[in-house]
């Protein structure tokens, strides 16, 4: 059917027995796309297809979820455009506004060099790590000299082993940064919703699978947060 989406989401790192050694195997699972843009919320639970990539052959089909209903599509679209009118039954609250009449205290030079108070650092988007902070330095109030604090800082990996022994779940071990990329999953930040006034936005320029560059708009925002 046209409203069913099946794919391999590359979550098979690990050793699962000698019968799978030296074989390029993937597991394909299916989701219902009917009435929602968020098909992840409508899994066809228990249906797993084992495929041999070298021979382009279906090795095994496991269907152990015949009695498990597909979750409903209602309220599964989490995009801002879909949510902004979703809570009309909640009594609205008065807005809170934090103002900076003289503008922000930080500056951004050459697109990525951030200076704030006695701090200086380079900030850039990255397909795998998401955000990389490098050459973080602090200007000593006593000597006026810049002290190196951190050469490079980023999220190295986020490992999520589900550890469910059932047939449709035991192989799921997500390596979020290395296999999916925090930067590649980033969504454009919405002004005044994700970031306050006076925020500075940075776009990302990433290479596509064919090597062509493309722009991911408003991936990073820089702003000052009131600390009381």
pLDDT of residue 104: 94
pLDDT reported for residue 97: 80
Contact in structure between 98 and 226 (CB atoms under 8 Å): yes
For range 5-16, the mean pLDDT: 78
Q: pLDDT band at residue 197, thresholds of 50, 70 and 90? A: confident
Task: Say whether pLDDT at 11 is over 90.
Answer: no
Phi-psi region of 46 (alpha: psi -120 to 50; beta: other; left: phi over 0): left
The string of pLDDT tens digits covering residues 156-177 is: 888 888 888 888 888 888 888 8
> What is d(CA 195, CA 191) in angstroms, rounded to the nearest whole number?
5
The pLDDT, as a whole number, for residue 202 is 97
Nearest to 107 by CA among 203, 223, 190: 223
> Residue 112 in contact with residue 122, Cβ under 8 Å?
yes
Q: Kindly tell me if the per-residue pLDDT of 228 is higher than 80.
A: no
pLDDT tens for each residue of 27-85: 999 999 999 989 999 999 999 999 999 999 999 999 998 899 999 999 898 877 777 66
CB atoms within 10 A of CB 213: 8
Q: How many CB atoms lie under 10 A from the CB of residue 188?
A: 13
pLDDT of residue 173: 83
Separation of alpha carbons 216 and 188, rounded Å: 7
Q: What pLDDT band is residue 88 in, cutting at 50, 70 and 90?
A: low
- Architecture field, domain 1-69+160-180: Roll (3.10)
* Pick from 105, 4, 115, 10: nearest CA to 53: 10
Tokens of 157: 């990996």
Share of residues in the chain with pLDDT > 90 (%): 60
Distances (CA, A) of 140 to 106, 118, 219: 18, 8, 32
Q: What is the residue extent of each domain of the chain? A: 1-69+160-180
State the average pLDDT over residues 179-187: 89
Rounded to whole angstroms, the Cα distance separating 72 from 90 reads 23
DSSP-derived secondary structure letter, 68? S
**DSSP structure class, residue 221:** E
Region 144-161: mean pLDDT is: 93
What is the torsion angle, in degrees rounded to the nearest 10, for the CA atoms of residue 60, residue 64, residue 67 and residue 72? -70
Which token pair is 87?
């809570």
Judged by average pLDDT, the poorest of 17-31, 88-102, 106-120 is: 88-102
């Amino acid at each position: 059917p046209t409203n069913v989406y099946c794919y391999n989401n590359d979550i098979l790192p690990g050793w699962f027995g000698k019968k799978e050694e030296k074989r390029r195997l993937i597991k394909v699972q299916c989701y219902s796309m009917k009435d929602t843009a968020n098909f992840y919320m409508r899994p066809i639970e228990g249906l797993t297809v084992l495929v041999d990539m070298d021979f382009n052959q279906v090795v095994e089909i496991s269907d152990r979820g015949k009695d498990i209903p597909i979750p409903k599509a209602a309220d599964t679209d989490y995009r801002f455009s879909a949510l902004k009118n979703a809570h009309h039954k909640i009594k609205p609250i008065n807005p809170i506004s934090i103002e900076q009449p003289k503008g922000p205290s930080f500056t951004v030079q050459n697109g990525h060099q951030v200076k704030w108070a006695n701090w200086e650092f380079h900030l850039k988007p990255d397909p795998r790590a998401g955000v990389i902070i490098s050459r973080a330095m602090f200007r000593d109030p006593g000597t006026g000299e810049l002290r190196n604090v951190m050469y490079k800082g980023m999220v190295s990996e986020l490992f999520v082993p589900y550890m469910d022994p059932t047939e449709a779940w035991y192989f799921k071990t997500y390596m979020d940064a290395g296999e999916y990329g925090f930067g590649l999953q980033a969504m454009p930040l919405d002004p005044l919703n994700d970031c306050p006034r006076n925020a500075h936005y940075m776009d990302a320029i990433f290479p596509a699978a064919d090597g062509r560059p493309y722009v991911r708009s408003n991936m990073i925002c820089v702003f000052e947060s009131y600390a009381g």
